[in-house]
Amino acid sequence: MCGICGIFDRSGRQVDQGLLERMSGALKHRGPDGEGYLLDRKIGLGHRRLSIIDVTGGQQPISNEDNTINVVFNGEIYNFVELRTELQGHGHHFKTRSDTEVIVHAWEQWGEDCVNHFNGMFAFAIFDASDRSLFLARDHLGIKPLYVASSGDRLLFASEIGPLLQDSGLDRAIDIDALAELFTFRFVPSPKTLFKGIFKLQPGHFLHATAKGIEIRRFWNKVPQQRRHWREADLVEEYQVLLEDAVRLQMRSDVPVGLFLSSGVDSGALLAIMSQYTSAPVQTFTIGFEGADRSNEVDDARATARLFGADHHAMMLGPQDYLDHFRRYMGDLEEPVAHEPAPAFYFLAQLTSSKVKVALTGQGADEPWAGYDRYLGVKMSGAYSRLPHALTNTVASLVGLLPFPMERLKRGVVSLGERDILTRFIKVYSFFSADMKAQLYTGALKAGFDKAHYGTKAALQQLQADVAHLDPLSQMLYIDTRANLPDDLLMVADKTSMANSLEVRVPFLDHRLVEFIESMPPQLKLHHLTGKYLHKKAMTKWLPPSTVYRRKKGFAHPVANWLKGPLHDVIDDCLLSSNSHMSRYFEPGYLRQLVAWHRQGREQLMRQIYLLLSLELWHRTFLTR
């Protein structure tokens, strides 16, 4: 796990060494164990190292025998042992034990197709001196980020946005279209970022830059084809074997590997499997919140840890802890999201990094397996949306008039009546309704807003087109796994963990597992009212039924109450004061109304307010000099 950056000039001009060093310096938290550079006229590569594999011999950049190919790499190639043996069979010679060198020789052997041989989480850059080209690639599911800025013949890239902002020639300006997408989807879908001129290389894509130009292509585009003939018991066994192999591969490390442990089935199963592959107690880590006693995971997680003899560590967060980090966390996150527990992940990573350098997490099982309540609504929507519009509109109006705050119910009913599948999905995502946006937006946002069009569809259209032949539930699971997951949850996990120099691995997102899950019919994912149906059946191999079928708590937190109490002054400062930048984009009077309704308990507006807070903090961190 590391941080990478680079400068490539297609015209052949000498790159700015000082800029490259500043870019690398901005990544020091991702790799405090060392740094390395390659400077060769039109190319500059920088690397910050967190030593995980081949601690003594894996310094980067790493080259082939004649130094014509150099690579800098962030992530892990989990199947590097098998690939190394295969490449040696083709006559390649290795000078290190690192997984990074496998990328070098895989490029020599297979060229662009090398990415299809990798099982891992990765963002890497290869400079090939034979044709003086640059090749960038990002893993199948976007577990590792990769940001790019291109101006004329010059291209800059980095693991984070901060290094790109070291370039004084890059204008720090907000992308209004991306801002509109943020307030539709709760995150900015790839390839955009909120910064004008900076984009994300999309998951499962590569970029190949030569003197002739820049080409971006998708390498992981396996379209799901659901199985027609199957036996449930066979599928359970096949899934168990795949998951065990994913955990086995992801425990490969020359340093100890820990686990983020919640009260749920996913991380509990990982602990059980990890315990099979190590003789020492697994170190596990849990975080809880003061004021969330009924939903805290600490006690249940501790019980699961005891079940497998783990060395367990836990900490409780109070509102002051949250507040202290909240004021600066956007500097770590770099991209606003409506993800209220996000600052807490920083403290979980901080606790974990005090004991280990690598941790596994149960993240990534809910999206492909239909683990969220919203998927039940999507399943019901097919029949509901075919009812007469007069009836569904009446139901939506009546629910909207309910005298108590039920934001999710109201949003769900509005989305259920939408007949167009993609528009329905967008309404499920967006907790700022069309009416709210019409009252909220001002300036450039207002000028580009069409109330009849519920936000842009372009960000998700290609993904939906991939699976248009499938049922609505399967379509949304596919989209969530490739959009919501990498651009929100995985981004938060990467940025908060790397801010603490911790590597986080995600076994449930082994791309072989995802492809397997997507080959199954929807009734094995959401069976009647039970989400993650076959997944839970498979987990009973490792966990007692009481744990497997325990009610899902999620990452429970009392932030809604804190916003009304301990974080009261933060809201006033960020959204209602004369120092707020939000009046550039939003109507101040309506902002005050939203805050008042939340404080009075008239509406559940925690997520809306949290997103507005995050945007203001982002603005102060990056756009206000």
Reported as a pLDDT band with limits 50, 70 and 90, residue 427 is confident
467-473 long-range Cβ contacts below 8 angstroms, 24+ apart: 467/223, 467/224, 470/224, 470/226, 471/382, 471/522, 472/378, 472/379, 472/381, 472/382, 472/421, 472/424, 473/370, 473/375, 473/378, 473/379, 473/522, 473/525, 473/526
DSSP string computed for 541-580: TTS-HHHHTSPP--S---HHHHHHTTTHHHHIIIIISTT-
407: pLDDT strictly greater than 90: no
Tokens linked to 222: 């396996």
186: pLDDT strictly greater than 50: yes
Helix (H, G, I), strand (E, B) or coil at 321: helix
Question: What does the pLDDT look like over 505-524, one tens digit per residue?
Answer: 999 999 999 999 999 999 99
Question: What does the pLDDT look like over 190-242, one tens digit per residue?
Answer: 999 999 999 999 999 999 999 889 999 999 999 899 999 999 999 999 999 99
Q: Cβ distance 141 to 491 under 8 Å?
A: no
For the chain, percent of residues with pLDDT exceeding 70: 89
Question: What does the pLDDT look like over 25-76, one tens digit per residue?
Answer: 999 999 888 889 999 888 999 999 776 766 666 688 999 999 999 999 999 9
Domain residue spans of the chain? 2-218, 232-365+483-548, 373-442+457-476, 558-625
Reported as a pLDDT band with limits 50, 70 and 90, residue 564 is confident
Could you tell me the sign of the dihedral formed by the alpha carbons of 456, 458, 463, 464, in that order?
positive
Phi, psi values for residue 317, rounded to 5°: -105, 135
Question: What does the pLDDT look like over 113-152, one tens digit per residue?
Answer: 999 999 999 999 999 999 999 999 999 999 999 999 998 8
CATH of domain 2-218: 3.60.20.10
Phi, psi values for residue 220, rounded to 5°: -110, 100
Tokens linked to 608: 């809306």
- What is the average pLDDT across 551-573? 75
560: pLDDT strictly greater than 80: no
Reported as a pLDDT band with limits 50, 70 and 90, residue 350 is very high
**Annotation says 574 is catalytic:** no
Question: What does the pLDDT look like over 258-273, one tens digit per residue?
Answer: 999 998 899 999 999 9
Helix (H, G, I), strand (E, B) or coil at 500: coil
Instruction: Using the CB atoms, write b or e for 40-76: b if 16+ within 10 Å.
Output: eebbbbbbbbbbbbbeeebbbbbbbeeeebbbbbbbb
Q: What is the mean pLDDT of the chain?
A: 89
Q: Cβ distance 369 to 531 under 8 Å?
A: yes
DSSP string computed for 210-246: ETTEEEEEES--------SS--HHHHHHHHHHHHHHH
451: pLDDT strictly greater than 50: no
- What is the average pLDDT across 619-624? 91
Helix (H, G, I), strand (E, B) or coil at 478: helix
Distances (CA, A) of 356 to 30, 219, 362, 376: 15, 34, 17, 38
DSSP string computed for 25-80: HTTGGG-BTEEEEEEETTEEEEEEE---SSTTT--SSEE-TTSSEEEEEEEEETTH
Number of H helices, E strands in the chain: 29, 19
Distances (CA, A) of 252 to 50, 129, 255, 494, 619: 15, 32, 9, 19, 40
Whether the model clears a pTM of 0.85, i.e. scores above it, the answer is yes
Helix (H, G, I), strand (E, B) or coil at 453: coil
Question: What does the pLDDT look like over 524-555, one tens digit per residue?
Answer: 999 988 999 999 999 999 999 988 988 776 55
Q: How many CA atoms lie within 13 A of 231 on its CB side?
A: 4
Helix axis angle, 265-276 relative to 298-307, nearest 10°? Answer: 20
402: pLDDT strictly greater than 70: no
Q: What share of the chain is helix, strand, coil (3-state, %, to 5)?
A: 45, 15, 35
Lowest mean pLDDT of 206-215, 383-392, 430-439, name the range.
383-392
531-534 long-range Cβ contacts below 8 angstroms, 24+ apart: 531/366, 531/369, 531/370, 531/371, 531/372, 531/375, 531/376, 532/265, 532/365, 532/366, 532/369, 532/370, 532/371, 534/232, 534/235, 534/236, 534/239, 534/369
287: pLDDT strictly greater than 50: yes
Distances (CA, A) of 119 to 202, 213, 321, 496, 615: 17, 29, 38, 24, 35
Element (H, E) at 138: strand 133-138
Question: What does the pLDDT look like over 72-118, one tens digit per residue?
Answer: 999 999 999 999 999 999 999 999 999 999 999 999 999 999 999 99
381: pLDDT strictly greater than 70: no
The reported pLDDT for the residue numbered 181 is: 93
For the chain, percent of residues with pLDDT exceeding 90: 67
Distances (CA, A) of 137 to 73, 83, 144, 243, 468: 10, 18, 10, 25, 27
Q: CATH classification of 232-365+483-548 is 3.40.50.11810, yes or no?
A: no
- Cα first-last separation, the chain: 32
Amino acid identity, residue 311? D
Over its C-alpha atoms, the chain yields an Rg (Å, rounded) of: 24
The reported pLDDT for the residue numbered 339 is: 81
Could you tell me the sign of the dihedral formed by the alpha carbons of 83, 87, 88, 93, in that order?
negative
